[in-house]
Amino acid sequence: MSGAPLSYLGSAGSKAHQVVPLTWFALIVSTATCLIFAALIVAAVRRGRAEGDVVAAQAVIRGGNGLRWIFVSLILAAVPIAVMLVWTMIAIARTGVPPAHPALVLDVTPQQFWWRIRYRGALPSDTFTTANEIHIPVGAKVLVRLNSPDVIHSFWVPSLSGKTDAIPGQNNVTWLEASRPGRFRGQCAEFCGAEHARMGFEVVAQSPADFEAWRRGQLRSAPRPVTTEQVRGLAIVEYRCSLCHSVRGTIAGAGSAPDLTHLMSRATIAAAQLPNNPGSLRGWIEDPQARKPGTQMPNQHLDAAQLNDLTAYLGTLK
Ligand SMILES: [Cu+2]
């Protein structure tokens, strides 16, 4: 159950560690209550049948001490509710306030239907943009600043953190801290249009050394194309794709679509919908609407030779 990608019954970070035990407590208490009530109702019905006509004639018999049961059950109900109330308040206090001194600050900008992620560094040269895959070091408190350029979306990584809306014109903040390495699935949790359900992302929690290696890799510009295929591929990117995408180190510098500079370093494409392999990449570029109807990337009507050149070039963007 807690192995499902979007399960909220397992936790991998300090925020979720606060919430998951409370969830189990509420689940167990409510299930037990339902079962006890069902059993009592069945017992009452059977007892009524057994006593036969006497009960039928006198539906309500006010016996000696019936009220006592009501008091007892009120107390029995009040105890778990009070526990849940206090426990919830503690959990909110521990998860609600973002860290004052985060180790990492990310600007996450969800838009129809993918996630832009900007890593802020101390210097402009330490700042870079990527998409749909958030890398964080294990044990670091990460501040996530959310804003939306179009409609309301919601940032949700069940095993690390609850939902926080991204609202146009408003800066919302949330935070993450992973307690172990792993890949954790995230999802847009606010209906935002046709492909809302296919607007996923992944959080990759890594050891600080692996994270640093990844970060340095992301800061690099794209390598120059080498083969003639790759050279033609870059020309197509600059001519056909640079309206929306950017590849740092080339003249493609637009920001309305995922940054492709290190496309090959990501495990998935199209907001965690397709595995990132040459076949699905080619299929995506050939006809994005067939893979993700309603996506904001248009069909470029490229022929087979152009698709070959493009995939050859995109393959170099590691
Ligand atoms: Cu969305």
CATH topology agreement for domains 104-219 and 228-314:
yes
Give the pLDDT score at 1.
47
Which of these CATH numbers, 3.40.50.970, 2.60.40.420, 3.50.50.60, 2.30.30.20, describes 228-314?
2.60.40.420
* Tens of pLDDT, residues 22-35: 999 999 999 999 99
Distance 199 CA to ligand 1 centre (A): 6
Measured in angstroms, how far is the CA atom of residue 204 from the centroid of ligand 1? 20
In this structure, the chain runs to a length of 318
CA of 21 to the centre of ligand 1 (A): 29
In the chain, the largest separation of any two C-alpha atoms, in whole Å, equals 97
Q: How far is the CA of 4 from the centre of ligand 1 (A)?
A: 21
Distance 154 CA to ligand 1 centre (A): 6
Which residue in the block uniquely carries the two structure tokens 């006198």?
A: 58
Rounded CA-CA distance 289/299 in Å is: 7
pLDDT less than 50: residues of the chain: 1
Span from the CA of 110 to the centroid of ligand 1 (angstroms): 6
With beta carbons less than 8 A apart as the criterion, state whether 155 and 164 touch: yes
| Whether 184 contacts 159, CB under 8 Å | yes
The Å distance, Cα 278 to ligand 1 centre, comes to: 27
97 CA distance to ligand 1 centroid (A)?
A: 24
pLDDT confidence of residue 89: 96
Residues with CB under 5 A from ligand 1 (ion): 153, 188, 192, 199
- pLDDT digit string, tens, across residues 156-196: 999 999 999 999 999 999 999 999 999 999 999 999 999 99
Check: pTM over 0.95? Answer yes or no.
no
Quote the pLDDT of residue 4.
80
Q: Which fold has domain 104-219?
A: Immunoglobulin-like (2.60.40)
Question: How far out from the chain centre does Cα 40 lie?
Answer: 42
Decide: 154 and 190 in contact? Cβ < 8 Å: yes
Domain boundaries, the chain: 14-96, 104-219, 228-314
